[in-house]
Structure 1
Amino acid sequence: MILSWKARRRAAKNNNLVSAAGFADVEVMIPTHFRCPISLDLMKDPVTLSTGITYDRESIEKWIEEGNQTCPVTNQLLSSFDQIPNHSIRKMIQAWCVENSSSGIERIPTPRIPVTPYDVKETCKRVLAATQRGDQKKCQELVGKIKNWGKESDRNKRCVVDNGAGSVLSSCFESFARVSVEKHVDLLGEILSVLTWMFPLGEEGKSKLGSVRSLNCMVWLLKSGDLAARQNAVLVLKELLSNSDQKHVISSLVEIEGVVPALVDLIKKPICPVATKAALMTIFYMTSHPNNALKIISPFVEMGLVSLIVEILVDGEKGICEKALGVLDHICDSKEGREEAYGNALIVPVLIKKIFRVSVLASEFSASILWKLCKNEKREAEGSVAVEALQVGGFQKLLVLLQVGCGESTKEKVKELLKLFNVHRVRLNCGDSSMDLKHLKRSY
C-alpha cells in the first residue's frame, strides 16, 4: 500500500492526501513501512520492540508511558520494553528523502541515541568521585554532559531525574560552595542551570541544597552573578522554598545578609518574566513563614517593594500580577506594610481593577488586601479606603465576587467589607441605591 506525502504543517491534523509543500502538481508517495503504525506519519527515529514491530520512538514511548504493556499492532504482551534502533529502516527513509528532495522533502536527521539509566548512574558516580577529589574541571565537564542530555529531549530529562542526578548535583554544589564561591563560580552556576529542571528533589538533595553553605552561595550569585546565574539562582530558590516542609530553609535564608536587596533588585530591574515570577514567589514563601514573616517584611518595605508591586499591577501580565498580589497580601499583614500602602495613591483603584481581571486567586488576594487596609485604618482616617473603593466601583465588584463564589475565608472578608462600604454608600451616592445587602442572592 502506498499513501500520499502530507505537508508537515497539516500532518498532525488530518490524513488527507496532499501535495508536497510548494509543489502543487506533484504528489510524492510514502511506502507504508516508512510510516509509524501509531501516528501514521513518516518515522524520524524508528525503533523495534521485542515483538519485531517497528515504531517511531516518540509514539511508542508515549504508548508505554500511558501504562500500556502490549504491542499496539500484535496486541502481544511485551516481554521487554527495550526499544532497539532500527538503523536499516532509518537509512532507507533517509535515502528515500534524498531521492525525493526535488519535490520539497527534507532528509530526516540521524537521531541521537537517548540516554539510558546506566549512562546516568555511571555519570553520577563519576561526578561524586570528582567532587571528593575536588576536581572542578572534571565536574564541570560531567555537568555539561548532563545538561546536554537534557537539551536533547524531555525523555532524557525524565531519565536523568529518575536516576538520582538531582541529589548528586546538589551534593556537588554544596561541596564546592563550602570551599569557595568565587573560585568555583562557573561550576556552581552550571550546576544551578541544570537543577532548575530537576525538581522535586529527593530528601538528600533538598538537605544538601538547603544547607546554609548552599543558600549563601545562591544569595551570592543573586547579588554578584551574571544574568544567567542570577536567574537560575532565583529559580532554584523558588523551587526549594515551595515545599511545605522547608521551614528551616526559609529560616536560614532570611538570616543571610543581602538576600532582600538581591530579590527586590530582580523585580526593580527585571531580567525576564520567568525570573520576575520566581523572585515574587520566593518573597511570597519567605513572608509566609509564621515565625519570621513580620521580621522579614520590614526590610522588603524599606526597599520600596510596595511601590514596585503597584507599578507591576498597573500594566503587568496576568501571571506576574497574581504573584505580586500574593506578596502584597502578606506585606499588608504588618503595620509597616499597611502604612506604605496607605501612602500610595494608586493602590485602592488598582486593587479594585484587578478583581475579575486576572484570576480567581488574584481576586481573592485583592479582597483580602482591601479588608486588611480597611480593618486596620487609623481612627482619624477611618473610612478613607472604603470611600475611595466605593468611588471606583468596589461595592459592585465585591457583590459579584460574593455571588459567583469564593473561598470561605474570602467570603467572610467580603461580607465585612460590604457592611462597611454600605455605611458610606448611600451618603456618597456611589452605585445603585437599590443594590441593598438584603436583596443579595447567595450561592451558598
Structure 2
Amino acid sequence: MPQLQQPGSWNVVGGGQVLDLETAVKDGILGGGGAGALVGSTEEKLDMKKMIEELAGTSDVPSVFICPISLDPMLDPVTLCTGQTYERSNIQKWLSMGHRTCPTTMQELWDDDVTPNRTLHHLIRAWLSQCYLRMKKRSEDVGGQVAELLDSLRRAKGKPRIHALKELGKLVGFHTAARKAVADAGNGGIPLLSSLLGPFTTHAVGSEVVSILINLPLDSEAKENLMQPAKISSIIDMLNDGTVDTKINCARCIQLLMSGRNVRSEILSSLSLLAGLLRIVKDKRHPAGISIGLNILKTICSHGQQVRGLMVRVGAVGQLAELLPHFSHECLEVALQILDELSSLPEGSRALKDCAQAIPNLVKILMRVSETCTQRALSMLWAVCKLAPDECAPAAIDAGLAAKLLLVIQSGCSPSLKQRSAELLKLCSLNYTATLFISKCKLSRTIQ
C-alpha cells in the first residue's frame, strides 16, 4: 500500500478536491516548472496504471491522490454532492450495494450523481509522470555507472580493481537496473567478471566477483564458462579458505552452477568440494550456510553410485549422523535423505554402524518431525540392525527403539511404515525371551 504524505502547503477545499493546478505546481507538490512541461506532452503518452505499478513503494503519494475507500491512488476521480472525491469504480460499488450515504462523512446523499474531477485527474497524471520519468532517469544513471565500472575493471589492477568490484557489488545488490546492465550481452559484463576467476585470482578479488555473480541471471553459456576447471577450482578454494560470507557466497554460486543441465563429473568428484561443503554444514552459527550446503550435497548424491561412494569415503555419513539433533526440521529432512541414500551402499551402512551416535540420534527422530523423516530413519535403523544384529539391536533397544516402534504401529502412519516397524521390532527381539524383552525395554506400562 502506498505511503501517505499530506502536503502541508497545498490548499485543499471541498473535501479533498484540488481547485488550482497552478497553485499546486507553485507550492512544490509537482516539483515546480518541470511538471508544467509534462502536463501537455509526455504525461499523455504514459499509462497511469502502469506508472502506479512501477512506482509502488518508491514514492510517497500525496494523500489527496488516495481514494478513501481503497487507499490506492485514483485513476478516475469523481466527486459526490458532499464534496468528497473517490475512485469511480469504488464509489459506484458502494452505491450499488444500496448505500445512500457518503463513505467518509456518512452524510445522507441528496443526489447520487458523480462528477468527474478533471482537475484532480490532471494533477495525479502530472505527478505520476514526473515521478515515473525521474525513476527512469535514475535507472539510466545506474546503467551509466555500471558501464563506467565495467570499463574500469577492464583496465584496473590491484586495489583499484577491488574498489571497482566493491562499487559494482553495491549497485548490483540494490538495483535491478544494475543487474540488467551487467547481464546485458552488449557490454560483456558476465564474461568480464568470469575472466577475473582463475588459478592466479586472489581471494580479495575472487570473493567480490562471486558476490556479484550470485545476484546475476546466469544463462547456460555463462554457467558452462564458470565450470571450466581453473574457474571452478578458484571458487572451491575460496569455499574452503575464505571468510564465512565468502564461503556461503561460493556455496550459492556452486548451487547455481549445479542447476544447469551439464555438470562436469570432475566437479562432483572433487574431494575439496565435499570437504568444504561438510565444513559449512557443521558450522552451527550460520543456518543459511547449513541449508545451502545440505542441498548441494543432496544434488551431488543424485548423480550416481560412484559419487555417493566418494561421499562415504570422505566421512559424510558419520559427520551428518552426529549433527542430526542440531538441524532444523527443514534441514533434517534433507540430511536424512542424503544419509538414506548413502546407507543404501554396503560401505555406507557400515559407516553408519560405526558411528556411535547414529542409532541413538535416529531413534530420537522417530515420530518427532514427519512421516517422511520417520520412514527414512526406520530404513537406516533396519539397515544397520540387519547388518550387525548382535551389536546394533541391543544398542537400539537401549536407546528406546521398542517403545517408539510401538507408537508407530499404533499411529495413523501408512501400512508400509507399520509393517517395517513390526519387522524391525521382531528383528530386535530375536535374542531375548518375551519376558526378558519386555523387561529390558521397560514396556510393561505401554503394553498394559
Q: TM-score if structure 1 supplies the norm length? A: 0.60
Q: Which residue does 1:19 correspond to in 2? A: none
Q: Which has the higher contact order (CA 8 A, sep 6+)?
A: 2
Q: How does 1:84-99 map to 2 (within 5 A)?
A: 84-86=129-131
Select which of 393, 397, 417 maps to 2:403.
393
Amino acid at match of 2:276: A
In structure 2, distance between residues paired with 1:58 and 1:316: 39
TM-aligned CA distance change 1:354 to 1:133, over 3 Å:
same
Q: Which residue does 2:196 correspond to in 1? A: 176
Q: Which residue does 2:346 correspond to in 1? A: 335
Percent identity between the two aligned chains: 15
TM-aligned CA distance change 1:359 to 1:175, over 3 Å:
farther
In structure 1, distance between residues paired with 2:132 and 2:420: 71
Q: CA deviation at 1:138?
A: 6.8
Select which of 212, 228, 231 maps to 1:211.
228
Paired residues of 2:146 and 2:168 also in contact (CA < 8 A)? no
State whether structure 2 residue 298 is matched by structure 1 residue 309.
no
Q: Identify which range, 131-140 or 205-214, moves more after superposition.
A: 131-140
State whether structure 2 residue 197 is matched by structure 1 residue 187.
no
Amino acid at match of 2:422: L
Paired residues of 2:173 and 2:215 also in contact (CA < 8 A)? no
Amino acid at match of 1:58: A
In structure 2, distance between residues paired with 1:193 and 1:142: 13
Q: TM-score if structure 2 supplies the norm length? A: 0.60
Structure 1 residues 167-203: Cα deviation after superposition (integer angstroms, max 9, x where no partner):
8665334312236123xx322211212333446x311
Q: How many residues align?
A: 343
Q: Which residue does 2:330 correspond to in 1? A: 319
Q: How does 1:7-406 map to 2 (within 5 A)?
A: 50-51=46-47, 55=52, 57-58=55-56, 73-74=75-76, 84-86=129-131, 116=139, 140=162, 143-152=165-174, 156-157=175-176, 159-160=177-178, 165=183, 170-178=190-198, 180-182=200-202, 185-198=203-216, 201-241=218-258, 243=259, 245-246=261-262, 248-249=263-264, 251-256=265-270, 258-290=272-304, 292-301=306-315, 305-375=316-386, 377-378=387-388, 383=393, 387=397, 391-399=401-409, 403-405=412-414
Amino acid at match of 1:329: D
TM-aligned CA distance change 1:260 to 1:52, over 3 Å:
closer
Secondary structure of residue in 2 paired with 1:394: helix
State whether structure 2 residue 432 is matched by structure 1 residue 421.
no
TM-aligned CA distance change 1:373 to 1:380, over 3 Å:
closer
Structure 1 residues 116-153: Cα deviation after superposition (integer angstroms, max 9, x where no partner):
4x66766676676666667576765554344323443x
Q: CA deviation at 1:220?
A: 0.9
Amino acid at match of 1:227: V
Paired residues of 1:266 and 1:275 also in contact (CA < 8 A)? yes
In structure 2, distance between residues paired with 1:239 and 1:129: 26
Q: CA deviation at 1:221?
A: 0.4
Structure 1 residues 204-254: Cα deviation after superposition (integer angstroms, max 9, x where no partner):
22212222222101111022222221221122223332x2724x33x2224
Secondary structure of residue in 2 paired with 1:194: helix
TM-aligned CA distance change 1:266 to 1:169, over 3 Å:
farther
Q: Which residue does 2:9 correspond to in 1? A: none
Structure 1 residues 276-321: Cα deviation after superposition (integer angstroms, max 9, x where no partner):
22222222222331153244223322xxx43432332223332332
Amino acid at match of 1:214: K
Structure 1 residues 53-74: Cα deviation after superposition (integer angstroms, max 9, x where no partner):
885822699xxxxxxxxx9633
State the Cα RMSD in Å.
4.8
Paired residues of 2:165 and 2:209 also in contact (CA < 8 A)? yes
Paired residues of 1:266 and 1:276 also in contact (CA < 8 A)? yes
In structure 2, distance between residues paired with 1:160 and 1:364: 47
Unmatched runs of 5 consecutive residues or more in structure 2: 5-14, 19-29, 60-72, 77-86, 89-124
In structure 2, distance between residues paired with 1:415 and 1:367: 11
Amino acid at match of 2:243: D
In structure 2, distance between residues paired with 1:84 and 1:359: 53
TM-aligned CA distance change 1:175 to 1:298, over 3 Å:
same
Paired residues of 1:354 and 1:363 also in contact (CA < 8 A)? yes
